[in-house]
Amino acid sequence: MRYIGPFFRMNSLSQKEISGQLFYLSKESIKTLVLNSKCGILAQTRASKKSPIEDISILNNFSPLLCLYRKASPLFIHSKSSPSFDEASFKKEISPSTSALMTLCLLELSEYYSHYSDGKRNIVSLEKPFKFLAREQLQFYSENLRNNEGLFVDKKNISDGNSKGFSLIDKDDKFKFSDQAFMMAAYLLYSHYNDSDELSKDYAAFSNEILDMFKTYNSVLYDLSFSECIQIFLALNIHYKYSCSQNAKELILDLGDFLISKFQEKDYYMDSIDDCALFSICLMEAYKHTEIISFKEFSKEITEKLIGLYDTDKNIFIKLSDKKDSKYSCIEINLYLLCLLMYSFQEDRISELRPIISGLYRKFFVNGGLLTSWPEAPTLDEVERYKKLSLRSDDMLDEIYFRMPVLPTPKSTGLAPVFVKSLSYSKKKDSLATKRTSFDSSKNMFNFFMIIYLLKDMVEDFMEFIPPLGLERLSDLDSSIDSNTGFATTDAKESNSNNPLATSSPESNVSNIKTQLNLSKSEDPVDFKQPVLNSFNTFKKNTNISSLNNDSTTKINHSVRNKKLKKNKAQHPHSKKKF
Indicate the pLDDT class of residue 160, thresholds 50, 70 and 90: confident
Once rounded to an integer, what is the mean pLDDT over residues 376-399?
94
- pLDDT confidence of residue 467: 66
- pLDDT value at residue 438: 93
pLDDT band at 96 (very low <50, low <70, confident <90, very high): very high
Looking at the chain, the whole-number percentage of residues with pLDDT higher than 70 is 74
Write the DSSP assignment of 111-166 as a string of letters: HHHGGGGSS--SS---HHHHHHHHHHHHHHHHHHSB-TTS-B--EEE-SS-GGG--
Cα–Cα distance between 302 and 542 in angstroms, integer? 40
CA angle 468, 470, 475 (to 5 degrees): 130
- Mean pLDDT throughout 344-363? 96
Q: Rounded distance, CA 555 to CA 543, Å?
A: 8
Q: Is the pTM of this model over 0.85?
A: no
Q: What is the pLDDT of residue 201?
A: 94
pLDDT at 415: 95
Neighbours of 470 (CB within 10 A): 9
Q: What confidence category does residue 120 fall into, taking pLDDT thresholds of 50, 70 and 90? A: low
pLDDT for 194:
95
> Which band of pLDDT confidence, cut at 50, 70 and 90, is reported for residue 32?
very high
Q: Which amino acid is at 130?
A: F
pLDDT at site 468: 52
Q: Which pLDDT value is given to residue 57?
A: 67
Report, as an integer, the average pLDDT of 95-114.
97
Summarize pLDDT for 500-515 with one digit per residue, the tens.
Answer: 333 333 333 333 333 3
Residue 494 has pLDDT above 90, yes or no: no
Confidence grade of residue 551 (pLDDT, cut at 50, 70, 90): very low
Mean pLDDT of the chain: 81
Least trusted range by pLDDT, from 80-94, 130-144, 554-568: 554-568
Of 290, 451, 410, nearest to 33 (Cα)?
410
For residue 529, the model assigns a pLDDT of 34
> Residue 324 — very low, low, confident or very high, per pLDDT cuts 50/70/90?
confident
Q: Which of 94-108, 231-245, 270-284, 538-552 has the lowest mean pLDDT?
A: 538-552
Q: What is the pLDDT of residue 163?
A: 60
Q: How confident is the model at residue 541 (pLDDT cuts 50, 70, 90)?
A: very low
What does the pLDDT read at residue 180?
97
- pLDDT reported for residue 461: 96
Helices 127-144 and 96-113 pack at an angle, to 10 degrees, of 160
More confident residue, 102 or 562: 102
The pLDDT value recorded for residue 55 is: 63
Residue 559 reports pLDDT greater than 80: no
pLDDT at 431 over 70: yes
69, 92 Cβ separation under 8 angstroms: yes
Alpha-carbon torsion angle 252, 254, 258, 261, nearest 10: 100
Q: Residue 10's pLDDT is what? A: 47
CA distance 195 to 378: 32
**pLDDT exceeds cutoff 90 at 264:** yes
- Higher local confidence (pLDDT), 14 or 550: 14
DSSP per position, 495-515: TGGG-TT--SSTTS----HHH
Lowest mean pLDDT among 16-25, 95-104, 265-274, 495-504: 495-504
DSSP tally for the chain: helices H, then strands E: 18, 14
Supply the pLDDT for residue 8. 44
Q: pLDDT digits over 45-68, tens only?
A: 665 545 555 566 677 777 899 999
User: CA 408 to CA 227: how far, in whole Å?
Assistant: 34
Inform me whether the pLDDT recorded for 443 exceeds 70: yes
Higher-scoring residue by pLDDT: 542, 406: 406
* Mean pLDDT across 228-245: 98
**At residue 126, does pLDDT exceed 50?**
yes
Q: What are phi and psi of 25, to 5 degrees?
A: -55, -50
Indicate the range of 29-33, 342-346, 496-500 predicted with least confidence: 496-500
Residue 107: pLDDT over 80: yes
Tens of pLDDT, residues 269-314: 998 999 999 999 999 999 999 999 999 999 999 999 999 999 999 9
For residue 417, pLDDT over 80 is answered with yes
**What pLDDT score does 177 carry?**
97
How far is 393 from 456, CA to CA, in rounded Å? 24
CA 238 to chain centre: 10
Q: Which of 177-191, 335-349, 487-501 has the lowest mean pLDDT?
A: 487-501
pLDDT higher than 80, residue 383: yes
Residue 162 has a pLDDT of 65
Q: What is the pLDDT of residue 77?
A: 86
